[in-house]
Amino acid sequence: MAPEISNVSMFFLIFFVLIPVSLSYFYSLGLGKSIVWSSFRGFIQLLIIGYVLTYLFSLEPIVGISIMLMVMITVASFHASQKGEGIPYIKSTVFIVIAMVELLVLFMWLAFQMVSFEPDQVIPMSGMVIGNSMVAIGLALERMKSEFKEGKGRILAALALGAKPQDASKILVRRVVKAAMIPNVDGLKTIGLVQLPGMMTGLILGGVAPIDAIRYQIVISLSIFASVSLSAMIVTMISYRFFFNDRHQLVTLNDHEEDMKEGQS
């Protein structure tokens, strides 16, 4: 079993924060305040979520799990959709995609008896799936905006030659999905060799036999890989269509914003 970390030991974690702050000051990076604020915010958030999870674990599984999943999906969709600012219906699209992917993964866990429908199992594992989906979607949206901006000339040329929006943007869409998936592909290649994954490490520290911890890690790693792939692909396939109007003409995100303002006026 892992030894209990005392409050005094927790206090000395401040030295781990001082290292990047010192480097930022030494190299004039201007990140000192951001590092301190992010560290403090992360500490407070984790402390609060510790008490929240303690309460949720005491509730009926269907209640505790539903509440926490809704919170995680809402927060994740809000942060991921910020990367696609200007794309119509992006917040609702991201929310629905993350929710659908999470429910699909959860269904498979339960159907194949990989996990039990208990808050202490479903919530932590779902958090990893939702969090990685959030990152993948945010990366895909950011990359998509960049690709359409840089590849505008090629898309216009393809449209002028009679290509449909789907064909004109096919290469860009492939690049976006590939870019969103690469970090997880590379992570799977070196998993267990370069670093011991977080879930496996936590279980081992908790006293679980390494081989049993590995089983859980394999489940969550492949679940994350599947959810990241699905999330990035679905959001990209839905969102790229908003870069074209009903007449199959390429439009900018500013055009959408102006149309929405005119509709509200």
Whether 68 and 56 have beta carbons less than 8 Å apart is answered as yes
37-58 pLDDT, tens per residue?
Answer: 999 999 999 999 999 999 999 9
Q: 228: closest CA among 172, 174, 191, 183?
A: 183
- Is the CB of residue 216 less than 8 Å from the CB of residue 124? no
Judged against a pLDDT cut of 70, whether residue 35 lies above it is answered with: yes
Q: What is the pLDDT of residue 192?
A: 73
Q: Which of 11-15, 82-86, 229-233 has the lowest mean pLDDT?
A: 11-15
Tell me the C-alpha distance between 89 and 262, whole Å: 16
- Mean pLDDT check: name the lowest of 30-34, 176-180, 198-202: 198-202
* Cβ-contact 230, 102 below 8 angstroms: no
By C-alpha distance, which of 144, 168, 143 is closest to 157? 168
The pLDDT value recorded for residue 3 is 60
- Using alpha carbons, list the distances in angstroms from residue 62 to 58, 59, 104, 105, 125: 11, 8, 17, 16, 16
Instruction: Give the CA distances from residue 228 to residues 20, 98, 121, in Å, rounded to whole numbers and listed in that order.
Output: 30, 10, 20
For residues 61-77, give the mean pLDDT: 95
Task: Among 171-175, 196-200, 202-206, name the one with the lowest average pLDDT.
Answer: 196-200
Rounded CA separation 78/70 (Å): 12
